[in-house]
Amino acid sequence: MMRNKKQFIKDFVFFPFRVLLLVEESKWGFTSLRDERFSYVEKYAMGKCLDIGCGKGNIFIKQFHQNEGVGLDLFPYEGLTEENLVENFNVFAFPDESFDTVTFIANFNHIPEKQRDIEVSEAYRVLKKKGRIIVTMGNPIAEILAHFNVWLQDTLFHTNLDMDSERGMVEGENYYVLDKEIKERLYRAGFTDLQVHYFPTQWWLNHLWVGIKE
């Protein structure tokens, strides 16, 4: 999804409105936060991509990455098929050096703490040389407020926006992960040249990390 300068400015100015709006698809002349997050990730994703925790509809792979790759999840969200579902992420069911990019989009905090190093190490294994890992994460305060906003709208308007409640939270999941932890886990797995890129149209309250497999 490419935005012209006018749309970029509009999305920046109306960011608070877009937060409250909580729509999944872009509409009414505004870019949804979901689509915006995917578009920022797509700027850094390359080649064949493995999207871990792909969520409803496997949207990133299908709509933003030209269907070049695979989306996997543990929970049978709407729009996923058997090929998208796995029992666990202890081992990614692919040979070494199978992908150019592995993404964790808005879900690294939902990996139980004891499982995070395992999944990052598996991402390293299945990446080709010079392949990229991409992890998005919001500012801690913004993440807490965002979850509260979802809960409040579901409570007041009987919507069904809270996917965390839909699938159930397990021990070791968090509402956010600090950058320090992300960096430590990526370095520990062997990734180098770590870079952080902020989302200006979300008032720099969301960002992504990119690491390289040497």
pLDDT tens, residue by residue, 24-80? 899 999 999 999 999 999 999 999 999 999 999 999 999 999 999 999 999 999 999
Beta strand 192-198 pairing with 206-212: antiparallel
The whole-number pLDDT of residue 162 equals: 63
The whole-number pLDDT of residue 150 equals: 81
The whole-number pLDDT of residue 188 equals: 98
pLDDT tens, residue by residue, 145-173? 988 888 887 788 777 766 666 676 778 99
**CB hemisphere CA count around 154 (13 angstroms):** 13
Max CA-CA distance within the chain? Answer: 50
> At 181, is the pLDDT very low, low, confident or very high (cuts 50, 70, 90)?
very high
How many residues make up the chain in this entry? 214
The whole-number pLDDT of residue 23 equals: 83
Q: Which stretch of 3-12, 105-114, 148-157, 175-184 has the lowest confidence by average pLDDT? A: 148-157
How far, in Å, CA of 14 to CA of 98, rounded? 40
Domain map (residue ranges) of the chain: 97-214
The whole-number pLDDT of residue 161 equals: 63
CATH topology of domain 97-214: Rossmann fold (3.40.50)
How far, in Å, CA of 180 to CA of 11, rounded? 29
- As a whole number, the mean pLDDT across the chain is 93
The whole-number pLDDT of residue 166 equals: 63
